[in-house]
Every structure is written in C-alpha cells, then in structure tokens.
Amino acid sequence: MAKLKHVSSLQRTLMFVSALWLVLGSLFINYKVSDLRCEKYKEISADMQNRLKSLIKEKQEATLVVSFAIANNQTIRDALLKNSVSGLDLDKFSDELSKYTSLQNSWFQLSNHNGISFYRSWTDKRGDDLKAIRKDIIEMIKNPVPTSSISPGLFNLTFKAMVPILEDDRYIGTVETISNFDSIAKKMQERGYNTLILVDKSHKRLLLDPSSKSYIDDYYLANSYIETEHAEIIKNEALKYVLNQDSYHIDEKHEHLINTYRLHDKMGNKLAYFVMFKDLKEIDFSDLSRTQDSLILFVVSIFLFLLGIYYFLYNKKQKEQIEDINNYLERKVQIRNKALIKQSKKLEHASQYDSLTKLPNRTLLINKLKKSIEKARKNTQKVTILFLDLDRFKEINDTYSHEVGDTLLKKIADKLKRFIDEGDTIARFGGDEFTIILNNADDTKTMELVANITDAMHDAVTVDNLRLHTTFSIGISTFPQDGESADILLRNADTAMFEAKSSGKNRYKFYNTKMTELAFERVLLESNLRKAIKEGEFEAYFQPKIDASTEKVIGLEALIRWRHPEL
C-alpha cells in the first residue's frame, strides 16, 4: 500500500512537472522567437544605416573628384584667363555623368578670383558678386583649398564640392559641382529600402525655390519622386516620433519597418533626415521559422517524454507502452534519418552543380581538372582547357533585365553541351564564363570544337520573343606545356581569353608566356593611370587640322598629354 501511495504521488508530481514544462516552454518559445525577430529587425536597420552612409560618402567623394577634373581642364582655365565663356558647355558633361556614373542631376558653377559668377550650367545668368551672399566663396578666396559639403540651397538639399582653379600655382577661380540625392534614393530602392529625405525645418528659409514644393510640418521633402504611401505614413503616424527614434520602428498597420538616419552638418547641427521603409512582407523569416520549429519540437519532445513516464507509472501495461513509444520514436528517427540523407545528397549536388544551367560549377570543375591532370601525367597525355567568356553579356543584362540574361545563359549552356564528348567536361565557371576540359585531345579536335562553338553562336538565341546575338572570346591552355597545375592552367586560359577579347572579341587565342608579361604590364599601366588622374598629370591640348589644298583650318584635334614625373 505504501508503494502504491508512493507511485500515485510520483504520478501527480510528474503530471504537474509536465504541465509546468509545457507552459514554461511555450513562454520561452514566444520570448525566443520575439527576440530573434527583433534581432532580424536590428540587422536590417543596421544594413539600412550602413548602406546609406556608404552611398553618401561615395557620392560626396565622386562630386569632389569631378570638381578636380574640371579644375584641371586647360579649357576651363583658358576661359577664366580670357574672361570668355565662349565654347563652355558643361551641360553635355553633366549628361555624360548622368549616363555613365551615379552623378545624376549635376550642375556646375565657375567663379573668378574675385568671387564674381563666371558661368552656370543651369542658366545664362552670370556676373553677380557671390561674395555678397556666400561666406564659403569668401573663405575660398582667402584660403583656396578644396572643400566638400552637404547643405540645403536655393532649390534642394545637395552635395557641393568646391575646388580652386590654379594657373602656375596662382588662384584664378573656383569650380563648384552640385548634385542632389536622387541617385542615392534610387540605389536604396534597388536594395529594397524606400527612402524619404526630409530637410530640417530650421533650413526652410534657405529653400527659396524648392524643387518638389512638398513639405510635411515644415520639413521639406527633398525627393524628386515621392511615393504617396510613405509620405502619408509619416504624416499620420507622428512625424516627431519617427524623426526622434533611436532605433527602428515597426508600423504594424501598414506592415513597414521604419528606420531614420540623421545627417548633421560639420558644426553638429541637424541637417536632414533619411526615413527608410522596408516592407515587412519582403523580409525573409525562414531561419526564424526553422528555429521556432526546432524549439517547439524540443519542448514537445520533453513534454512527451515526461508524459510517457507518467503513463508508464499509471498503466499496468507499462512495459508494452514503453515498447510502443520506443518503436514510435525509432520510426521517427528512421524517417528523419532518411530525410537527412536525402537532404545531404541534395546539398552535395547543390555544392557541385550550378543551379541555373545544371552544369558542374567551379568547385567540381577544379576537382575534375586535377584528376584529369593526374591521369594525363601518368599516361603522358595532354589536357586542354578552353576558357569561354560571353561578349556583350553585360549589355544584354542591363538592357533587357537579369531574367532575360539568365534564360540566355541556360540556352547557351544547352548549345555547348551538344559539342562535348563523353569523358570531357563543360562547367559554368561563374557569371558569363564557361570552361571546357578536353582529355588527351589533339589540336585538330580542339580546333573542331572551337569552330563548332563559333558557328553555333552565329545563330540568334530567342528569349521572350527577343532575338539576341552574342559571341564567345575563347582562351586555350594545355597541360603540360602551359602549366603543371589546375590553378596555373585556368589562370593561363583566362589570360589567353582576355587577350582574345582585347583583340576584338569573337576570337580565340592559345596561351603563351608573353601574355603573362603583358598582363603584368597592363596592371602596372592601370595603376599609373589611376595615380595620374588623382595627381592631375593629364593636360588637354588642341591643334588645328588644315586642308593642304586651301590652307584653311577645317577642324581641331583634341589631345591628352601625360606629364609623367618619371617616364
């Protein structure tokens, strides 16, 4: 009887512990999931802040570089010295910047050594005394050094870079490059972050002719394009609360994560606010769901374990019940093991094959190449590497979208597979690059394969009713004469491919050692060019073209001369 009472007491204890475990486990799961969700929000908020700061710094530096380029242009200096704006048209330069760089919507102003406006790219107005209204012009005249700043002006919040123009170390004027924040808002949007730029209301008096004409509680909206949805959220959800947030804010009603970056001027005064929005529906919580499922499984497993012990003590057939539970758990383990084995095989396949083209990837290619080299070394055979790079693929991607580019890559991969014999290997090396391994192939077989590929690429590839034409630049290296290892063979094939592309594209080149020397020379030349641009070693010269029969000037040649300090 005492034993029965002891068992009954133990049962009640186990029942209480099981219930308590389930309650505490549920609370812990909710707390953990909430904590992980907050960490996810913090991670996204940090990415918002870091990306925005990086874009602002990048554009500020780019604006300064453009100002340096203009300040070192001899045509600009000659115009200031002659006090003539004839031939100056920086609007075209601004259009080129918009087309090829992130400096969209840029304007330029030139002033002479007395602070008198000499040229404005956005208007014909000139000749006014800038010293009368601008302290920065006065400071530049006193101390002509480059400056870069962000400030609200007549029309908008802008980046401004001021660089002195010198002639024989004599200050003759100033060039100013002004650019707005539209490109930054666009790049943030490409990342998935919609951004509203609000200028602090303390600067409202400076915005005499604002571009967007839009305000929220005296905060000027500096975006050229404003999404009404986000502007309404700021208006309706307490503007001051959003602007004064020290961390992110979750707008449950509109399903947005909102984060604010505050921009201050050099004196520490409030300048502008970048209110960034991230749609909650676009946030990937799959890792959080997996963690939640694992925690639930753990809590439920412990709960079932305690419950199992309870039934063991409660039921006279405890042995049968334990056996049933063990069998049940064993089946679960077997199912889970099978699932893990299946998943492991999928992961192994994914680690060795390209998900887009289903071809071997770089990792598998290198492994196969190493095996081919070992076999060829034992049997005194050759291994040939073809390194193929698509010509004009970036243009197709930029023009028609990445989806069209991906489809094009898949169709080209299917084309290439038709020419590969059993025992040879074709792989996607990365991006728009493919690599082919030919085992013990002579030059005739190699050239036949190159010819087949070249002929096949003459036919257009149809993607979404678009007829796309592209070609390959092909580099070829061979074991053992071009290298004893996989890395060297691939590098030399890539060097040969680059030489083929430099020679006009849609060509092939066999590797030779001279290419490596040229590659090093090219790297050295590129390094010197960057330094020359930074140090202002380039000068523009113009010389007349004369018709010999009439002895009349019929045009000009524009030349760039490089004043290299050593060569």
Look at residues 293, 30, 266, 302 and name the one whose alpha carbon lies nearest to residue 151.
266
**One-character DSSP codes across 48-60:** HHHHHHHHHHHHH
pLDDT at 162: 93
Close Cβ partners of 182 (under 8 Å, ≥ 6 residues apart): 104, 105, 223, 224, 225
| Contact present, 248 and 41 (Cβ < 8 Å) | yes
Q: What is the pLDDT of residues 126-184, one digit of tens each?
A: 889 988 888 889 999 999 999 998 888 777 888 899 999 999 889 999 999 988 888 88
Q: What is the pLDDT of residues 55-69, one digit of tens each?
A: 999 888 988 998 998
Residue 2 has pLDDT above 50, yes or no: no
Residue 4 has pLDDT above 50, yes or no: no
Residue 320 has pLDDT above 70, yes or no: no
Q: What predicted TM-score, i.e. pTM, was given to this entire model?
A: 0.49
Chain centroid offset of residue 76 CA: 35
Q: How many CB atoms lie within 10 A of CB 425?
A: 18
Look at residues 388, 376, 387, 386 and name the one whose alpha carbon lies nearest to residue 480.
376
Residue at 243: amino acid letter: L
pLDDT at 3: 46
Q: Which residues pair with 166 in a beta bridge?
A: 171
| Contact present, 302 and 23 (Cβ < 8 Å) | no
Residue 473 binned pLDDT confidence (cut-offs 50, 70, 90): very high
Of 48-57, 341-350, 430-439, 490-499, the poorest mean pLDDT is in: 341-350
Residue at 39: amino acid letter: E
Token reading at 332: 């679960």
- Bridge pairing between strands 472-479 and 508-510: parallel
Of 241-245, 270-274, 315-319, the poorest mean pLDDT is in: 315-319
With residue 169 as reference, give the H or E element that holds it: none
pLDDT at 161: 92
Q: What is the pLDDT of residues 61-117, one digit of tens each?
A: 988 998 998 889 888 888 888 888 887 777 777 777 766 666 767 888 899 999 999
Average the pLDDT over 336-340 and give the result: 74
